[in-house]
């Protein structure tokens, strides 16, 4: 159903680009609407889409490759880990030779405990 509504809206947008109007009986503007008028028209229709997607129904069938998912997961892990390290007491990190030397209230220990529970 959404696909039909999108097609109808796209036809209206195309008509607006050519005539400057969507209502029947209105005289077309002497000049074509500029880009801001077109985007305003699309926004008033509560849409973000000017064109039908070129791949249509096939986009819903696309699967992400596992390598990209893994890379993204490591990226987010390293980002969170860097934030945890930033909030960990630096003097405690310098004096510790093992994780067991850090207090249980340390941000780094809390992070690893969360990983242990999740994982």
> How far apart (Å, rounded) are the C-alpha atoms in residues 96 and 84?
16
**Using an 8 Å Cβ cutoff, are 99 and 112 in contact?**
yes
Helix (H, G, I), strand (E, B) or coil at 2: helix
The reported pTM is 0.43
Crossing angle (nearest 10°) for helices 35-44 and 2-19: 150
Greater confidence (100 vs 68) lies with: 100
Return contacts of 74-79, CB within 8 angstroms, 24+ apart: none
What pLDDT is recorded for position 25? 52
Each residue of 26-81: pLDDT tens digit? Answer: 555 556 677 788 888 888 888 777 777 677 677 677 777 788 888 889 999 999 99
């Amino acid at each position: 159903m959404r696909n039909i509504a999108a097609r109808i809206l796209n036809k209206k947008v195309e008509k607006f680009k050519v005539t400057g109007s969507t209502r029947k009986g209105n005289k077309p503007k002497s000049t074509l609407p500029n880009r801001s008028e077109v985007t305003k028209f699309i926004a008033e229709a509560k849409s973000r889409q000017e064109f039908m997607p070129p791949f249509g129904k096939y986009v819903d069938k696309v699967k992400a490759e596992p390598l990209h998912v893994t890379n993204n997961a490591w990226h987010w892990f390293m980002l969170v880990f860097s934030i945890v390290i930033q909030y960990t007491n630096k003097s405690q990190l310098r004096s510790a030779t093992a994780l067991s030397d850090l207090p249980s209230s340390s941000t780094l220990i809390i992070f690893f405990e969360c990983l242990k529970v999740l994982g």
